[in-house]
Structure 1
Amino acid sequence: MWRFHDLLRKFWGDRRGNFATIFAIAAIPIVAAAGASVDISRAYIVETRLKAALDAAALAVGGATGQTNEQLQVLAQSFFNANYPASKIGVPGTLTVAQNGNVVTLSAHATLPTSLMGVVGIDTLDIAATSQVTRMGKKLEIALVLDNTGSMGSGGRMTVLKTAAKNLLTTVSAAALDPGDVKVAIVPFNIDVKVGTAYENANWLRWDEFVPSGGGGGGGGGNCHIILILLGLCNNSGGGSNPHAGWNGCVEDRDQNYDTLNTLPPATGGGSNATRYPAHENTSGNSNCNLQTIMPLSHNWTALATHIDNMVSAGNTNTTIGLAWGWNMLTPGAPLSAAAAPNNNLDKVILFLTDGDNTQNRWTTSSSQIDARTALVCTNIKAAGIKIYSVRVIDGNATLIRNCATDPGMYYSVNTASELTSVFASIAQSLSNLRISQ
């Protein structure tokens, strides 16, 4: 009997089998820790995709004014689904939208099933994200300074430009909280810009370099100087002469350095011609006045779209005059301008597009000399607090066009005309007066 008691005592006192028990118990937190690492990494990926999709949805609905919560929910859901493909990610996400005045708040939620953390009773991980967009309420004036030279008629450039520009109008118009908060001007250019013959008697025009042609005006008579009439060399039999005959409404660069400034011309007759705009005659064979006219700032979106549709491509390139008149459109009191005075609640922006090198201005056909004028007007515009987006289409001086932009991120260069659609969409979105506030 004593032997049995001794064996039993030794069995209870033996510690050699405890290792397996201790390891089994210790393995639980080890497995849980490893599982946590895997599951948390998966959760991080899901959260990143969730937040990116939420921000895309927030920007989309932030620009949609006059919509109910239900309408915003539908719009946001479409953008959310496009950026958060639940079937590929394997974790469904839910989205909710609420608006309060100028603030739109979006929340997203997803539940991630764990793979190994279940051994410690954690079967799912809750992932949530919130995004808030504030409609800033700032007003916006935009001048579209668009190359309408002959080269824009090739490779579908003008066709794509028209579509892209009209799409931009649609986007920025939706960002206006009230009618008139966003206005757009259109400045087509080649070596000239066209103000239109309706301004023939404007004080800001000068005619000292204009050579009349034809016999129009004042009753359809000739175009004779009084001395020629007295000598019998000219007959004004049709009625009074018109010293502006043959003008099609185009103007050239102002005298240097006013060609790169927004100095206002005299409000009345008299004074120096240096700040006035020289009328450009439409000489035989000159296609540079075959332009669409300038359209001052407006929020008549239908009229703006029609004006863009009516643009035509002709003539040579002088980017300086296009930028100068874009600046005019944003300058209070300048010719044709409907611009408001600068204030903290107003952004002024030029979107400048060209597809080639400078080839001709009022004085020269030297590209380098014209480039110097363009560089100067770009510098002066930016110094006045106006932002510039610049777009190079296939050709043109990349350095000049890039440096004209307010910063490198506001410069775009495309190799095919079709890329303009996405470029203008990107610019339109940044112009839409929205910001992700949280």
Structure 2
Amino acid sequence: MSCATIARHIGQAASRFASANEGNIAVIFGIVILPVLAFVGAAIDYSRANMARSSMQAAMDSTALMLSRDLTQGLITPSQINTKAQAYFSAMFTDKEAQSVSINTTYTPGTSSTGATIQIDGSGSITTHIMRVVGFPTMGFNTTATTTWGASKLRIALVLDNTGSMANFNKIGALQTAAKNLVSQLSNLAQTNGDVYLSVVPFEIDVNVGTSNVNASWLRWDSWDPKNYPNASAPWQTYCSGGYWMTMAQCQGHGYTWNHAVGSPSHSQWNGCVSDRDQNYDTDATVPSSTSTDFMADQDQSCPAAELLPLTYDWNNINATINAMSPGGATNQTLGLQWGWMSLLQQSPLNAPAEASNTVYQHIIILFTDGLNTGDRWYGDFSNQSAQVDTRMKNLCDSVKAAGVTIYTVQIDTDGAGQSAVLPYCASGPSRFFMLTQPSQIASAFQQIGTQIAQLRVSK
């Protein structure tokens, strides 16, 4: 009912009271008219104040979210929060009836067990239309908006394609730029050391775990030969009876014969590469403890130049590992993904830092690749897509997701090979699979992933 309608009804009632002949009616009217007017006026003015308050709440909620986004992405510093809050709020709060409007913004950094918080307290008033008759010329209102983020800690593995085709169109350079931007974005989510950990797993047909692990108990050497190439003038030829490019582990895994007497070479000649471990341990996280569960020392000539980096919050070291990446070799996404998963676990071989029992952790793998699976220790010709390798990878993805790990997959197809049969399957939902066709799109995809990871929520 509008103010005009209410006023008309009050006027009509007053006229009837005034024309009444009964003396007591006039007396009663005089007694009740002020409370009646006050009640009706309060309802009307309260409705106006509540509308202004709702408008303020919406503007403050949006302001709190944008401040949190800007802060986590490094666009503003804590000292700039109040100024930025006022600018955002003033642009969004346009209620013309509100007066004496003010907001106060409080930022509380996160701790090891609580998230960072931005709280905005706002107040204002309206000039009353009817309540002023009974001595209340204004009606005040106030509200609060709070945004909280970072309450959970992040453990994130970057599993990055370092295969030979990454040289085309400088995809490796675009990947390095995008990955380092993501590192910056994610590091801004950390309020204290250890809030965010990252690992980096460069991969091709093998993964380079570093020669410093030469004496690790989880390595096996029964299919390792440092001398792969019998002809110096044709280094693509190997001792494998089944074809070129194969190491001893790959040759024997494919069922071919290795035509070289290995002897007892020094392990100091090892280049740091490992191949898949025995099936079905290639698709789970069993702790290495025997020959079948250990990882196969390999001697791939295209062993990634960048060594695997376990979980750390040393951002300089992370960026240095990304900078060290260079393209070479064929594609075995399964092995890269398994090592990414292993890097998140508090067990051999990588022994991730311990996790506090009273803290929530998010475990995330971001897998980037520019192609299709072409080979592993048993399957594929290292050139064309291998359905058998895809099957191994699907089994692994089932295990990873069942363990509560969130998987993002990013594919870039610049040569028309088509969408992977396995990457959308491995992603934890359609919104976590990205299909790209240009190197310039890598940065945007990684930025979107970082934003999803840093998702904020309005808590009040």
TM-score (norm 2): 0.67
Question: CA separation in 2, counterparts of 1:437 and 1:335?
Answer: 40
Q: Note closer, same or farther for the CA distance 1:417–1:134 as it changes in structure 2 (3 Å cut).
A: same
Query: Is the CA contact 1:192–1:321 (under 8 Å) kept in the aligned structure 2?
Result: yes
Query: Is the CA contact 2:207–2:304 (under 8 Å) kept in the aligned structure 1?
Result: no
1:161-207 per-position Cα deviation (integer Å, ceiling 9, x unaligned): 21221122222222222211211000011111001111112111111
SS in 1 for 2:298: strand
CA RMSD of aligned residues (A): 4.5
Correspondent of 2:366 among 332, 343, 351: 351
Write the letter of the residue equivalent to 2:213. Answer: Y
1:327-355 per-position Cα deviation (integer Å, ceiling 9, x unaligned): 11011122133243585522211111111
Where do 5+ consecutive residues of structure 1 fail to align?
Answer: 1-24, 27-40, 118-125, 215-239, 267-271
Decide which moves more: 204-213 or 131-140. Answer: 131-140
Write the letter of the residue equivalent to 1:409. Answer: S
Question: CA separation in 1, counterparts of 2:344 and 2:165?
Answer: 27
* 1:73 corresponds to 2:91: no
Q: Tell me which residue corresponds to 2:429.
A: 407
Q: Tell me which residue corresponds to 1:328.
A: 342
Q: Tell me which residue corresponds to 2:281.
A: 258
Q: Tell me which residue corresponds to 1:375.
A: 394
Q: Note closer, same or farther for the CA distance 1:100–1:279 as it changes in structure 2 (3 Å cut).
A: closer
Q: Tell me which residue corresponds to 2:37.
A: none
Query: Is the CA contact 2:105–2:121 (under 8 Å) kept in the aligned structure 1?
Result: yes
Query: Is the CA contact 1:165–1:424 (under 8 Å) kept in the aligned structure 2?
Result: yes
Correspondent of 1:139 among 153, 169, 176: 153
* 1:61 corresponds to 2:71: yes
Query: Is the CA contact 2:275–2:377 (under 8 Å) kept in the aligned structure 1?
Result: yes
SS in 2 for 1:255: coil
Q: What is the CA distance between 1:243 and its match in structure 2? A: 3.7
Q: Note closer, same or farther for the CA distance 1:212–1:59 as it changes in structure 2 (3 Å cut).
A: closer
1:41-64 per-position Cα deviation (integer Å, ceiling 9, x unaligned): 9x9999977754552233323677
Q: Which runs of structure 2 are paired with 1:223-262 in the superposition (5 Å)?
A: 242-244=265-267, 246-262=269-285
SS in 1 for 2:296: strand
Query: Is the CA contact 2:65–2:457 (under 8 Å) kept in the aligned structure 1?
Result: no
Percent identical across equivalent pairs?
A: 35
Q: Note closer, same or farther for the CA distance 1:63–1:376 as it changes in structure 2 (3 Å cut).
A: same
Q: Tell me which residue corresponds to 1:277.
A: 295
Q: Tell me which residue corresponds to 1:18.
A: none
Q: What is the CA distance between 1:103 and its match in structure 2? A: 2.2
Q: Which runs of structure 2 are paired with 1:85-96 in the superposition (5 Å)?
A: 96=104
Q: Tell me which residue corresponds to 2:210.
A: 196
Q: Note closer, same or farther for the CA distance 1:252–1:410 as it changes in structure 2 (3 Å cut).
A: same
Where do 5+ consecutive residues of structure 2 fail to align?
Answer: 1-7, 10-50, 110-115, 130-139, 229-262
Q: Tell me which residue corresponds to 1:98.
A: 106
Q: Note closer, same or farther for the CA distance 1:364–1:241 as it changes in structure 2 (3 Å cut).
A: closer
Q: Tell me which residue corresponds to 1:208.
A: 222
Q: Tell me which residue corresponds to 1:21.
A: none
Question: CA separation in 2, counterparts of 1:426 and 1:77?
Answer: 27
Question: CA separation in 2, counterparts of 1:163 and 1:330?
Answer: 24
SS in 1 for 2:354: coil
Query: Is the CA contact 1:390–1:405 (under 8 Å) kept in the aligned structure 2?
Result: yes
Q: Note closer, same or farther for the CA distance 1:295–1:146 as it changes in structure 2 (3 Å cut).
A: same
* 1:161 corresponds to 2:170: no
1:46-96 per-position Cα deviation (integer Å, ceiling 9, x unaligned): 99777545522333236779965x422245567x38x95899xxx9x9865
Write the letter of the residue equivalent to 1:138. Answer: S
SS in 1 for 2:338: helix
Q: What is the CA distance between 1:111 and its match in structure 2? A: 11
Question: CA separation in 1, counterparts of 2:176 and 2:334?
Answer: 22
SS in 1 for 2:422: helix
Question: CA separation in 1, counterparts of 2:105 and 2:457?
Answer: 17
Write the letter of the residue equivalent to 1:276. Answer: D
SS in 2 for 1:154: helix
Question: CA separation in 2, counterparts of 1:342 and 1:151?
Answer: 41
Write the letter of the residue equivalent to 1:435. Answer: R
Question: CA separation in 2, counterparts of 1:196 and 1:56?
Answer: 42
Q: Tell me which residue corresponds to 2:328.
A: 314
Q: Note closer, same or farther for the CA distance 1:299–1:246 as it changes in structure 2 (3 Å cut).
A: same
SS in 2 for 1:97: strand
Q: What is the CA distance between 1:143 and its match in structure 2? A: 0.6
Q: What is the CA distance between 1:312 and its match in structure 2? A: 1.0
Query: Is the CA contact 2:210–2:273 (under 8 Å) kept in the aligned structure 1?
Result: yes
Q: What is the CA distance between 1:279 and its match in structure 2? A: 1.0
Question: CA separation in 2, counterparts of 1:151 and 1:294?
Answer: 20
1:118-168 per-position Cα deviation (integer Å, ceiling 9, x unaligned): xxxxxxxx9998542123432221111111112222223222221221122
Q: Which runs of structure 2 are paired with 1:15-26 in the superposition (5 Å)?
A: none
Q: Note closer, same or farther for the CA distance 1:332–1:383 as it changes in structure 2 (3 Å cut).
A: same
1:1-30 per-position Cα deviation (integer Å, ceiling 9, x unaligned): xxxxxxxxxxxxxxxxxxxxxxxx99xxxx
Question: CA separation in 2, counterparts of 1:95 and 1:420?
Answer: 40
Question: CA separation in 2, counterparts of 1:362 and 1:111?
Answer: 73
Question: CA separation in 2, counterparts of 1:110 and 1:62?
Answer: 30
Q: What is the CA distance between 1:401 and its match in structure 2? A: 1.0
Query: Is the CA contact 2:372–2:420 (under 8 Å) kept in the aligned structure 1?
Result: no
Query: Is the CA contact 1:61–1:76 (under 8 Å) kept in the aligned structure 2?
Result: no
SS in 1 for 2:440: helix
User: What is the aligned residue count?
Assistant: 375
Q: Tell me which residue corresponds to 1:392.
A: 411
Question: CA separation in 2, counterparts of 1:95 and 1:191?
Answer: 57
TM-score (norm 1): 0.70
Q: Tell me which residue corresponds to 2:136.
A: none
Q: Note closer, same or farther for the CA distance 1:132–1:426 as it changes in structure 2 (3 Å cut).
A: farther
SS in 2 for 1:156: helix
Question: CA separation in 2, counterparts of 1:399 and 1:127?
Answer: 57
After the TM superposition, which parts of structure 1 deviate over 6 Å for at least 4 consecutive aligned residues? 43-50, 63-66, 108-112, 126-129
